[in-house]
Structure 1
């Protein structure tokens, strides 16, 4: 695996993947693609500016393409996220095919259809997502596109990674802007100021650290694997566990009330994400990661609670990272 190109190289997953590949002897050169060139550059990595939403990439000479580019906002204009995420991804897929390169695509737990919260689903669980939000619609649509892509190019190796919610300390400012809005100071999001933890029935999710996802990317590049891999750390996160972790008590909050509150904030433009995303999260299944363990030799090094702790610490410190998406300002 000589030359690897990484799209979305300056985002949450991108910076972790560049760190992982920069230290991999089997990878001799890495090119990071982003809309804006960062001041940060790890050793052995070159950057190039491109917006795949509007520009055709050229992957000539690449042995592999790791596709991470994604835009969550503007959620109020789903036609724009569709252009960037779906049409941009199709450009990346076709460019990888023209180059004859291995394709590693960052899918998501969000691609899965509603499923159990007290059991685990494997990679064969239906991937038609929850239709009420742009994020799962786009992720699911790309799964269907990759089905067709694999039939059209059976000689190419295609890997789909489906991580849970991805956290790391430097990405916390970006995630605050995406999900809480740019006007909410991270310093105000402090666990000690939270009197109680709302306990919404059925709200139980998985998380994973960005470095562990990057390790899965590295392993997928180096091993002759194909297909989908679930990625998540243990244990699943719920209100009772979070309350115990923070030393707080829980207060029962019906799902309908929580959704009404979020919808009110969305319509008042006080929240940048629509209530459809809450509906998605409330219905996500828990994933089984056995295939990643067996075929990639992948075991997360960071526990779910440690990943959550990094998110909270990053929100409070607001330090970010020296790339445009992760910059604290």
Structure 2
């Protein structure tokens, strides 16, 4: 098969490259192609920013003869430029959909998220029929919801003429190899990432209860969806759901109850003061999204997670302690000196378009 992957060098993309059987012809679409080493050397890379005006035309060329397109490309920074993130996430999804339809691609796998779901069942499981209207205070969630709405409109308008689409809706995705990348996005430049696993206290609301999944298990579900030519939405999550005390136990830290409203105010004020890079929407998301009923993925795809949620979090934290990374631009080694240099030359990570 000829498989095109947008965002192929990121967290999930790297895991998908590990999971895809070697006989497939793999094409990668990213802003900054990685060096041809390790898992990245099997890929025919095409540099492209999905926000470029000519992205749909260039994608049509890349999608020629594609049996499947796996659309993973998404932006998490810059949180201060929500217009760019919207054009990358929602506009990029529309560009991929237009090009895939024009080329008659055999299947589109769209990476959605638990963040596409509406609030209202926090700490309770929902299946794929739960409303996908998102969390209004989270730009990430709003864009994930809007991207799914674009797919809904396309399928409704074209009916049987639409290309087959599968939508993967995972919980929060973790893995060792993404440690440097995730810490670059979320941790202030002046904090060494190796300190995170050494935290003596975990100040969080005791109500925290979130779905977590390892990137390898998301990749396995995507490969199964391709092999089965699957369509429709699929929840993906590991067990058990992670509460505050579970996170504290993996960290070896003592949990301290701090109400989410207080945390939200602190996060918002520190973000506005440019002391850290995560906007309040991410905290609102963590305390609003439901848990996931994954029955459909288990029965229709034959999927089951190989990692527990506890193991996935432990894998990430071990990676944080060891500064794990890959050679791709999104997952490269986190360097405090490099981050501070780029703050001066390019602006803060929460403002610049290339983290």
Structures share a fold, TM > 0.5?
A: yes
For residues 24 and 298 of structure 1, do their structure 2 counterparts lie closer, same or farther at Cα, with a shift above 3 Å needed? farther
Q: Does 1:64 align with 2:68?
A: yes
Mapped to 2, the partners of 1:319 and 1:233 lie a distance apart of 22
1:167 aligns with 2:174: yes
| Deviation, structure 1 residue 198 | 2.3
Distance in 2, matches of 1:183 and 1:73, equals 18
Offset of 1:288 from its aligned partner? 0.5
Structure 1 residue 117: Cα displacement: 3.5
Paired residues of 2:208 and 2:287 also in contact (CA < 8 A) = yes
Task: State how far apart, in whole Å, the 2-side matches of 1:18 and 1:251 are.
Answer: 40
Which of 220, 233, 236 matches 1:231?
236
Question: Which one of the candidate residues 68, 82, 86 is aligned to 2:86?
Answer: 82
| Equivalent of residue 309 in structure 1, options 299, 305, 314 | 314
| Pick aligned residue for 1:179 from 178, 186, 208 | 186
1:49 pairs, out of 47, 50, 64, with 47
Contact 2:206 2:245 in 1 (8 A): no
Q: Is the 8 A contact 1:233 1:303 kept in 2?
A: yes
Q: Deviations over 1:150-204 (max 9, x none)?
A: 123434210000011101111111111112234432122123xx22222404321
Alpha-carbon distance in 2 for matches of 1:61, 1:93: 15
CA distance in 2, matches of 1:69, 1:244: 33
Query: Which range moved further: 68-77 or 258-267?
Result: 258-267
Q: Is 1:197 matched with 2:196?
A: no
* 1:213 matches 2:218: yes
- Coordinate RMSD, CA, aligned: 1.5
Q: Find out whether 1:112 has 2:110 as its counterpart.
A: no
Unaligned runs of 5+ in 2: 335-355
2:287 aligned with 1:288: no
Where does residue 37 of structure 1 map in the other structure? 33
Shift of 1:112: 0.4
- Note the residue ranges of structure 1 that are not aligned, 5 or more in a row: none
In 2, distance between residues paired with 1:71 and 1:185? 23
Decide whether aligned partners of structure 1 residues 185 and 244 sit closer, same or farther in structure 2, where only a CA change above 3 A counts.
closer
Asked whether the equivalents of residues 186 and 317 of structure 1 are also in contact (C-alpha less than 8 Å), the reply is no
Per the normalisation by structure 1, the TM-score is 0.94
CA contact (8 A) 1:120 1:285 kept: yes
C-alpha change, 1:118 and 1:34, in structure 2 (3 Å) is closer
Distance in 2 (CA, whole Å) between partners of 1:103 and 1:162 is 14
Q: 2:139 aligns with which of 134, 140, 147?
A: 134
